[in-house]
Structure formats: C-alpha cells, structure tokens
Chains A and B, each alone.
Chain A
Amino acid sequence: EPEVTQTPSHQVTQMGQEVILRCVPISNHLYFYWYRQILGQKVEFLVSFYNNEISEKSEIFDDQFSVERPDGSNFTLKIRSTKLEDSAMYFCASRSQTSGPYEQYFGPGTRLTVT
C-alpha cells in the first residue's frame, strides 16, 4: 500500500540554524500539507500546498518557514533560522482528488529538536 514517507526521522539542530524537512507524498496525490505537534500538545495545521502554490497557511507559518516542491516527488519544509520553540514533531500529509473529499494520509513524522 502506498504511503507517505518523511526524512529524517529525527533531526537535532542548534538555534539559529536552517533545517529542511523532507517528505515524499503518495505519487498520484496533488494536495500537500504540513502539521506540527509540540510535545504533549495537539496537532496543528501549518500550511497547505496545491499546484505549486501555498493555498493556506496558519499564523504559525511565519516568514521563517517556507515550503517547496523541488521535483515531482519531494515536498519540503524549510525553517530558515530555528528557535527553541520550533522543537516539535512535524507531520507531512497528502491527499488526492479521488481518495475521498477530505481524507489525508500522514507520514510518520520528523522529530525536530532545537538546542
């Protein structure tokens, strides 16, 4: 069964460094999302992406964040200058136009630790 994959599974970085989190969505999916979950808290929407554009972003998704689909398979989240409060689990999700109106498929997540 196709699945969403994410790399790395765990990333440790120092405050102020740039990080890129990578996701490979399911191959025929067209809609892509990033969510984050701070330890012990709920999962929060960050950004949605369709047709090579951001379609919606949350208040969390400030200028430090960017997303890109650099090729036909990868979908990345970049944090330009990490802060301690960026430490969280980051989930990528994807959705097709035909898998049901709103069903998203989630990756296993990348745990980001900022020291």
Chain B
Amino acid sequence: AQSVTQPDIHITVSEGASLELRCNYSYGATPYLFWYVQSPGQGLQLLLKYFSGDTLVQGIKGFEAEFKRSQSSFNLRKPSVHWSDAAEYFCAVGTSGTYKYIFGTGTRLKVLA
C-alpha cells in the first residue's frame, strides 16, 4: 500500500543548528515527492518538490531535500535553523492516476532561542 512515514513526531533544535527531518515512502512506481510547511492555523506552503533528475533539490527558505531511491527516503535539511522555521512539516507523495497526494503524519519543529 502507498504510504509516507515521518518517524519523528517532534523535533527540537537550537537556533543556528542544522536540521534534518526524515521522510520514508512506500510507493510502487516512480515517486513524486513534496515537502510542505504549515504554521499554526495556516495553510500548506510548498517548500520543495522532486519529480525527476538531480536527486538534491533546493527549495524556498534555505531548505533542501535529497531523494534516495535505495532507501526510499526524501529527507529535508537546512544548515542553520531560524526561529521562524518553527512549524509543522509534512512530507507527501503524489500518486499516479488521479494524482492525489498521500501525506505523512507530520513533524512538529520547535526552535530554541
């Protein structure tokens, strides 16, 4: 079955520290992968996407993600976290057919000053 797993429900980092949020997917075909960020009470903002080509993709706000097919992973990284990055982060896979998204359960990021 198609699924997305985000193993970390909560992550706390200090401002200026590096960040890695994990995402693993289960999907039979070539995956189309996304990371979204959601601030409290807000909608979903696309950070970055992977469709094909270079497995290291750059996104907005200094985020990047690396697609590793052998590990079925699409981890999100940022070299230096800012307090404004505190939010919930969702990984999603786009499916074929009707192209619906399957979301992971999210990782809530807390940033310490």
Interface residues of A (CB under 8 A from B): 31, 33, 35, 41-45, 48, 50, 55-56, 91, 93, 95, 100-104, 106-109, 111
Number of A-B contacts (CB under 8 A): 62
Residue pair A56, B43 in contact (C-beta under 8 Å): no
* A102: nearest chain-B partner, CB-CB: B94
Residue pair B103, A101 in contact (C-beta under 8 Å): no
Residue among B36, B97, B103 making CB contact with A44, cutoff 8 Å: B103
Question: Interface 1/0s, chain B 99-113, versus A by CB < 8 A?
Answer: 111111110000000
Chain B's nearest CB lies how many Å from the CB of A30? 11
Residue pair B99, A43 in contact (C-beta under 8 Å): no
Residue pair B105, A41 in contact (C-beta under 8 Å): yes
Chain A residues within 8 Å of B41, by CB: 111
Residue among B32, B43, B98, B105 making CB contact with A42, cutoff 8 Å: B105
Chain B's nearest CB lies how many Å from the CB of A34? 10
* B4: nearest chain-A partner, CB-CB: A42
Chain B residues within 8 Å of A43, by CB: 44, 90, 92, 101, 103
Residue pair A103, B105 in contact (C-beta under 8 Å): no
Residue among B43, B90, B99 making CB contact with A102, cutoff 8 Å: B99
Chain B residues within 8 Å of A104, by CB: 94, 99, 101
In the complex, what distance in Å separates the CA atom of A93 from the CA atom of B92?
Answer: 14
Q: Is B83 an interface residue (CB 8 A)?
A: no
